[in-house]
Amino acid sequence: MTPFRFGPPHGQLYGIHHRAESGRAPVGAVLLCNPFGQEAIRTHRMFRVLAERLARSGIHAMRFDYFGTGDAAGDDTDGDLDIWRDDVLRAHEELRKRAPGVPITWLGVRLGGTLAALAAEHAPSAADRLVLWEPIAHGCAYLDELAGHHEQALEKSYSLVPKRFRAAPADEAIGFGMGARLVAQLRALNPARLAGLKARHATLITGAHTADVSAYAEAYRHAGCPTEQHMFEHVFDWASEEAINTALVPQEALQLLQSLVNPVTP
C-alpha cells in the first residue's frame, strides 16, 4: 500500500496504490471512486478491504480523494461535479502509469458512480469496464435524501440540538459543506444527463429500491454500450451508522464486487 500525491500543484489529490502482489503477472487494475460526504467515510473500510483483496489476487487497485475531500487539497465547498469528474480522469492516468498494459475498471459507488459515468462521456475509451453501484441520477431527490439524514442525525443527538436548529442547511450535508455550484449541479442532475453513457462495457448494481437504474441499463444498451445488471438484495441505508460501521464490508458485497471488477471473470 503506497500513499502518494498527484495532480497540479494548486490542486493536489491524494491517492493510495495497492500494488498487485509480486510473484504473479498483474491481470488488471481497478480505480475506486468514492461516494460523497458521510457515505465516503462509511464505505472507506469496504474499499480498503476490497483493494487489499484485489491486490492479493493480482489486480492493481487505487483509492483516491477528490479535490476538496479527504486528504486532498481544498475545502469542502471547493469541489463540484465538473472538478470531480476531471479528478476521475486524472486518477485514471495516474493508475495507468502504475499499471501499464492491463485493462482498467472504474468502480463507482453512489455519487462516485455518477462521476465515473460523467467521466466516461468525456473519455469513452479510457476505462475498459465500468461498475456502477446505485449511481445517483435524480439530483433533487438525492439532496432531499441528504437533508433527511442530516435532520435524523441531529434528532438522535440526545436532544442536545434544539429542534428549531435541526433543519438541514442548504450548504451542508451531515457535517460536510456543499458549495453553491455543487448544489446547483445536483439540482440539475437527472436521468437524461446519464443516458448517454459511453463505455466499452458497463455493469449496474441495483437494489430493490433503485428500480430506476434498470431504465438506465436499457438506455445504455440502446446507446450501444454493452450493459449488464446485477441485483444486490442486501438493503443498505447508505447514511446509517448501523449499516456502515458494523457491516458495510459484508462478504456477499465484497464477493460480488470482486467478481465484477475481475477482468478474467467470464
Residue spans of the domains in the chain: they are 2-138+190-261
| Cell numbers describing residue 153 | 442525525
Which among 110, 115, 107, 117 has a CA at the least distance from the CA of 62? Answer: 107
> Residue 171 carries which side chain, given as an amino acid letter?
D
Beta strands 172-173 and 176-177 are: antiparallel
pLDDT of res. 222:
77
- CA-CA distance, 184 to 124, in Å (whole number)? 26
> Residue 9 carries which side chain, given as an amino acid letter?
P
Beta strands 104-109 and 129-133 are: parallel
> Residue 183 carries which side chain, given as an amino acid letter?
V
3-state secondary structure of 135: coil
- Note the pTM of the prediction, 2 decimals: 0.88
Find where cell 476531471 sits: 86
| Cell numbers describing residue 69 | 475531500
Q: Which residues contact 251 (CB under 8 A, 6 or more apart)?
A: none
Residue 135 sits at φ, ψ, to 5 deg, of -60, 145
Find where cell 487505487 sits: 62
Which among 70, 79, 64 has a CA at the least distance from the CA of 32? Answer: 64
pLDDT of res. 33:
98
pLDDT digit string (tens) for the chain, length 266 residues: 899 999 999 999 999 999 999 677 889 999 999 999 888 988 898 899 999 999 999 999 999 999 999 999 999 999 999 999 999 999 999 999 999 999 999 999 999 999 999 999 888 778 899 999 989 988 999 898 888 765 666 665 555 555 544 445 567 676 788 899 999 999 999 887 777 677 788 999 887 666 566 667 777 787 778 888 887 766 666 555 544 444 456 778 888 888 898 876 54
Residues in the chain: 266
pLDDT of res. 150:
54
Homologous superfamily (CATH) of 2-138+190-261 is Alpha/Beta hydrolase fold, catalytic domain (3.40.50.1820)
- CA-CA distance, 175 to 36, in Å (whole number)? 11
Count of beta carbons in the 10 Å neighbourhood of residue 160: 6
Distance between start and end Cα atoms, the chain: 28
Handedness of CA 39, 72, 199, 192 (dihedral sign): positive
C-alpha dihedral, 181 to 125 to 5 to 22, nearest 10°: 150
pLDDT of res. 248:
54
